[in-house]
Structure 1
Amino acid sequence: MDAPLDRAKLLAARYAAAEARPYLASALYALTVVPSPGPSGVRTMGVDRHWRCYVAPEFVARTPVPELSGVWIHEVAHLLRDHHGRADRLPPADQRDPVRINIAQDCEINDDLLADGLVLPAGRMEPGLFGLPKGGMFEGYLPGIPPTPPHAVDCGSGAHGGPAPWELGGCGGDGTAGIGPVEAEALRRQTAQAVRAHLRARGRGSVPAGWERWAEQVLEPAVDWRRALSGAVREAAAWAAGAVDYTYRRPSRRTPALGGRVVLPSLRRPLPRVAVVIDTSGSMGDAELAAALAEVTGVLREVGVGGNRVTVLACDADVHAVSRVASAGEVTLAGGGGTDMRVGIAAALARPDRPSIVVVLTDGITPWPEESPSCRLIAALIGEGAPNPPGWVETVRLDPADLGRRPDR
């Protein structure tokens, strides 16, 4: 007969974990305990996608409270770091080996937990066991984990994404329904905010670096700026191309049907023209500018805007060079003084070939026009600390560390 679950010991371990790491308390107490005894149950502890924590009574009985506290934090880390969601985005070939995924995920978590002084049971997975460096993400560890390794690791669908045989399924009964994805995401954000508050109160180093990085990613997620810039320019180009007008230079094809008595105009669909205003003030580096301009001209080519329809203006507090270009290598970056991108925008709009799209490459330390001009205006901001332009300016933030490097395809 299976031993009953020592719930008092298990909950005492959770209380100790929450007391020692208060920024994880909300997430720890959100877990629903599900006893999982017998040979068909979980071997130690595991979690599913619904934040249900399955517990083997015999594991609780033989494990000291400090180690149980570490396991509580280990299991909730799988859910907070959205390991099952990230596993769902892996290539199909990797998804077929959930044990390998689980080991890589355990390496990501245990690395931080051990550095934080937590005690974990013997047999834990660490990056060093596979010759891998510390501080990585499980996606980076996965290629270094051998296929079908001989380790009986199974933290459940809340980790590797695949359903475990001891899980209840979508809706558990008897108060074990768990929580849904919306509430789970709210818990992640609440926990990330608690991590940030703890850092502000206690200072840097009071939270393991892995948790700090995770919180920043949750609260300020990275954006694929190349895709965002391409989407903004593509949308603006489609908007400009849709601005049809009537012209008498080419009569309508219906004119002959009227016997020549009336000449009807035809519809004209203008090709979008683009102006790129480059901030060449003293605060901008030439290498970053050249790389950023190469990205913009590459985006323009991708959306079908190029050749003599792209004008580049180098501007600090005045416009120094204007050129019509087909590639970034034809641009002259002149300037180096103060900063006023209003001058460059006004000069672009005053040209005979008035653009329908203006892209401004800047660090954002500039005044902006008081109202939206009669064109689509896109600010491509270089640098993490670039201040936001007015709300009516379409804004894309470029990562200076990634400029000039093509993304993996």
Structure 2
Amino acid sequence: MSGLDRTKLLAARYRAANDRPYLASALYSLSVVPSGRVPTMGVDRHWRCYVSPSFVAATPVTELAGVWIHEVAHLLRDHHGRASRLPAADQRDRGRVNIAQDCEINDDLLADGLPLPEGRMTPGLFGLEDGRLFEAYLPDIPPQDHHPDCGSGAHGVAAPWDQDGPGLPRVSPVEADALRRATAEAIRAHERSRGSVPAGWRRWAEEVLEPTVDWRRMLAGAVREAVAWAGGAVDYTYRRPSRRTAAMRGVVLPSLRRPLPRVAIVVDTSGSMGEDDLAAAMAEVTGVLREVGVRGNRVSVLACDADVHAVSRVTSADQVELGGGGGTDMRVGIERALASRDRPNVVIVLTDGYTPWPEEPTTCRLIAVLVGDSPPSPPAWAEAVPLGEPVR
């Protein structure tokens, strides 16, 4: 496309890389794709940067340098990958997701003294504090009539200007991970020799080089796998005869049935449990179950400590009423779940781990969601998911 002032655009990238050398490798890995359809600048997951010629013409080099850093930050922080793990309703609302992501980035950029174009999104616009993850900002972002669009490399939804095909440059997922690690190492080296790395970038680099477990991803994966495993248990039924029955005179053939799994959530209500962690875990579990189609009377919740105090069926986390508060023996809740008329295919136990466990593996999949610092490990036959903070 004619009309793009490449000299100005690339001068802005040079300025960004020269002033923040620890971002140079990532910045120069972005390939430029001129487009009249993108409002300003945006990226896709292949590290292509789509650029509006009119935006470049109207924006000073100093601000363009800040936009370069803003766009590469979406990719370095794996915003499209993190957005893919949001609940389905949030994923569809790409405008709010993009605003929350911009809030996560722009507070760091402004603290670093980078000038950004007017209309930038910051946590302060919504009465929120700086330094948080976009996942934490998202619930407090109201619907907007107008919103930024940094492309599929940010919110994860295909943009009208996205291009793909032979001959177009692309960065593979493996190369992207290598770029993230190289950038994190450059940040650490820069801080040792010169200092003055913004706190948000420093925290991000620490997580890349010394990662903690993203428990939300682990939990979602474990629940989805367990539900898929249970749903794969097909059986024969005569309630709906096979279509081949018509060809077999005098013989009725059964059809195959794939039952929808039942899930029991056993919640530790002992006094040692933290309410905030428990509420977060419960919300994540019910959210994942809702996404995979297990809801309503297919889900039962048992709240127990040394005894089972309540059994309720729920469709959302806010319907759960926790009781108890005494000692802990989650075997009681597990046994009650397995003895119910609607026997579950999957049992999810939310506990701090200070409990006896069944001596032998249960006859269904059991996931132990462990709340608190350094919880004891469950038996080896159980799938353990320790709760912690998500990666920024």
Of 42, 49, 53, the residue aligned with 2:45 is 49
Of 110, 116, 120, the residue aligned with 1:120 is 116
Of 297, 302, 310, the residue aligned with 2:354 is 297
Q: For 2:129 and 2:50, how far apart are their aligned partners in 1? A: 31
Change (3 A) 1:165 1:379: closer
Q: For 2:126 and 2:215, how far apart are their aligned partners in 1? A: 34
- Distance apart, 1:6 and its partner CA: 0.5
Report the counterpart of residue 262 of structure 1 in structure 2.
none
Report the counterpart of residue 12 of structure 2 in structure 1.
13
Q: For 1:156 and 1:302, how far apart are their aligned partners in 2? A: 49
Q: For 2:214 and 2:5, how far apart are their aligned partners in 1? A: 48
Q: 2:33–2:48: 8 Å Cα contact kept in structure 1?
A: yes
Of 216, 222, 246, the residue aligned with 2:206 is 216
- Distance apart, 1:220 and its partner CA: 1.1
Report the counterpart of residue 184 of structure 2 in structure 1.
192
Change (3 A) 1:224 1:28: closer
Deviations 1:338-363 (A, max 9, x none): xxxxxxxxxxxxxxxxxxxxxxx99x
Of 188, 197, 202, the residue aligned with 2:194 is 202
Q: For 2:24 and 2:119, how far apart are their aligned partners in 1? A: 26
Change (3 A) 1:95 1:224: closer
Report the counterpart of residue 156 of structure 2 in structure 1.
161
Deviations 1:95-135 (A, max 9, x none): 11101100000011001000000000001001111111111
RMSD (Å), alpha carbons: 3.3
Of 57, 61, 71, the residue aligned with 2:57 is 61
Q: For 2:65 and 2:181, how far apart are their aligned partners in 1? A: 23
Q: What SS does the corresponding residue of 1:199 show, helix, strand or coil?
A: helix
- Distance apart, 1:301 and its partner CA: 1.8
Deviations 1:207-251 (A, max 9, x none): 0000001011111111268989xx9xxxxxxxxxxxxxxxxxxxx
Change (3 A) 1:134 1:304: farther
Q: For 1:79 and 1:187, how far apart are their aligned partners in 2? A: 10
Q: 2:26–2:72: 8 Å Cα contact kept in structure 1?
A: yes
Change (3 A) 1:217 1:4: same
- Distance apart, 1:160 and its partner CA: 0.1
- Distance apart, 1:297 and its partner CA: 3.3
Which structure is larger by alpha-carbon Rg, 1 or 2?
Answer: 1
Q: For 2:359 and 2:156, how far apart are their aligned partners in 1? A: 37
The answer to whether residue 167 in structure 2 is matched with residue 152 in structure 1 is no
Q: Which amino acid aligns with 1:156?
A: G
Q: Which amino acid aligns with 2:17?
A: A
Q: Which amino acid aligns with 1:22?
A: P
- Unaligned segments of structure 2, at least 5 residues: 223-327, 329-350, 362-373, 379-383
Q: 2:99–2:147: 8 Å Cα contact kept in structure 1?
A: no
Q: 1:3–1:58: 8 Å Cα contact kept in structure 2?
A: no
Report the counterpart of residue 175 of structure 2 in structure 1.
183
Deviations 1:48-84 (A, max 9, x none): 0000000000111111000000000000000000000
| Runs of 4+ more than 2 Å apart | 223-228, 294-298, 302-305
- Distance apart, 1:303 and its partner CA: 7.3
Q: What SS does the corresponding residue of 2:155 show, helix, strand or coil?
A: coil
Change (3 A) 1:225 1:155: closer
The answer to whether residue 85 in structure 2 is matched with residue 92 in structure 1 is no
Q: For 1:145 and 1:156, how far apart are their aligned partners in 2? A: 19
Q: 2:25–2:183: 8 Å Cα contact kept in structure 1?
A: yes
- Distance apart, 1:179 and its partner CA: 1.0
Change (3 A) 1:6 1:143: same
Change (3 A) 1:79 1:303: farther
Alignment of 1:335-350 (within 5 A): none
Q: For 2:54 and 2:2, how far apart are their aligned partners in 1? A: 7
Report the counterpart of residue 82 of structure 1 in structure 2.
78
Q: For 1:152 and 1:297, how far apart are their aligned partners in 2? A: 47
Report the counterpart of residue 25 of structure 1 in structure 2.
24
Q: For 2:215 and 2:77, how far apart are their aligned partners in 1? A: 23
- Distance apart, 1:199 and its partner CA: 1.1
- Distance apart, 1:296 and its partner CA: 4.2
Q: Which amino acid aligns with 2:27?
A: L
- TM-score, length-normalised on structure 2? 0.57
Q: For 2:377 and 2:45, how far apart are their aligned partners in 1? A: 40
Change (3 A) 1:160 1:201: same
Q: For 1:209 and 1:55, how far apart are their aligned partners in 2? A: 29
Change (3 A) 1:303 1:219: farther
Q: For 2:133 and 2:151, how far apart are their aligned partners in 1? A: 19
Q: For 1:221 and 1:207, how far apart are their aligned partners in 2? A: 19
- TM-score, length-normalised on structure 1? 0.55
